[in-house]
């Protein structure tokens, strides 16, 4: 089913209900969908509220919350959601990035490959596990290598769609480095595909962004050569 443009109209998306769409992959925009008052509650208040709600979910499922193994689960889940796997929703957790002059006069592409990340599918809230490869050509400034990893992790730690994750990382690098010469490739396995639904454990999803000089067959081939060696 091809949806050229997705619009929300009540419970309809381009005239289709969420039931019609089913497991199809939706990408509604570059920005992560957030409420205007997303940060009205403090992190502590959010954890308290999530703990209460998750306890109710467990109760509805019929789990015995008096069991020693389950008593602390609602609070553990709440802490994990806010402090760990969805910490990228809070802009206060955005990595601080310092730039340095390109004193080495290195004017070729710099590639940081095989950055392992863990994210979560926003459609089913199950893991996306993959590797990101990022590259840029300096416009006069360079960034610390570890900061490339931190930028990937920041945008991965939120409910995501892989296409959006790819573009968010690319746009952040373009803004920080003040250059269009940025490339991002993500190869990931979606547990919503491998552990449920179609239950295909062998496939993976690849998305790419090529900007500036990278958007040429010559540079793409050069980048692929680096990644394959």
Q: Is 11 a catalytic residue?
A: no
Query: What is the torsion angle, in degrees rounded to the nearest 10, for the CA atoms of residue 155, residue 161, residue 165 and residue 167?
Result: -140
Q: Is 124 a catalytic residue?
A: yes
Question: Which residue among the candidates 25, 112, 124, 180 is catalytic per the annotation?
Answer: 124
CB 134 within 8 A of CB 145: no
Q: Is 192 a catalytic residue?
A: yes
Question: Which residue among the candidates 112, 122, 163, 180 is catalytic per the annotation?
Answer: 122
In the three-class reduction of DSSP (H, G, I as helix; E, B as strand; rest coil), residue 97 is classed as: coil
Question: Which residue among the candidates 153, 160, 162, 168 is catalytic per the annotation?
Answer: 162
**Which residue from 101, 181, 99 is spatially nearest to 148, judged by alpha carbons?**
99
Residue 107 exposure: Cα atoms within 13 Å on the Cβ side? 1
d(CA 54, CA 78): 8
| Sign of the CA dihedral running 143, 146, 149, 154 | negative
Question: Which residue among the candidates 55, 123, 133, 153 is catalytic per the annotation?
Answer: 123
d(CA 185, CA 162): 10
Cα angle 187-201-165, degrees, rounded to a multiple of 5: 30
Question: Which residue among the candidates 121, 133, 168, 172 is catalytic per the annotation?
Answer: 121
Active site (catalytic) residues:
121-124, 162, 190, 192
């Amino acid at each position: 089913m091809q949806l050229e443009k997705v619009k929300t109209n009540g419970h309809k998306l381009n005239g289709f209900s969420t039931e019609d769409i089913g497991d199809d992959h939706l990408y509604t925009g570059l920005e992560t969908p957030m409420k205007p008052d997303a940060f009205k509650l403090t992190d502590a208040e959010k954890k308290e509220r999530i703990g209460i709600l998750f306890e109710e979910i467990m109760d509805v499922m019929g789990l015995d919350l008096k069991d020693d193994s389950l008593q602390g689960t609602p609070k553990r889940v709440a802490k994990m959601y806010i402090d760990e796997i969805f910490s990228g929703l809070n802009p206060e957790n955005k990595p601080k990035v310092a730039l340095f002059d390109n004193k080495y006069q290195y004017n070729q592409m710099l590639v940081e490959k095989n950055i392992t990340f863990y994210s979560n599918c926003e459609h089913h809230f199950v893991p996306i596990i993959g590797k990101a490869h990022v590259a840029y050509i300096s416009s006069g400034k360079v960034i610390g290598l570890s900061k490339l990893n931190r930028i990937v992790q920041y945008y991965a730690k939120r409910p995501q769609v892989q296409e959006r994750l790819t573009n968010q990382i690319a746009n952040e690098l373009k803004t920080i480095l003040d250059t269009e010469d940025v490339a991002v490739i993500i190869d990931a396995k979606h547990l919503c595909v491998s552990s449920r639904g179609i239950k295909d454990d062998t496939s993976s999803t690849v998305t790419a962004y090529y900007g500036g000089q990278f958007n040429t067959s010559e540079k793409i081939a050069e980048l692929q050569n680096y990644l394959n060696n």
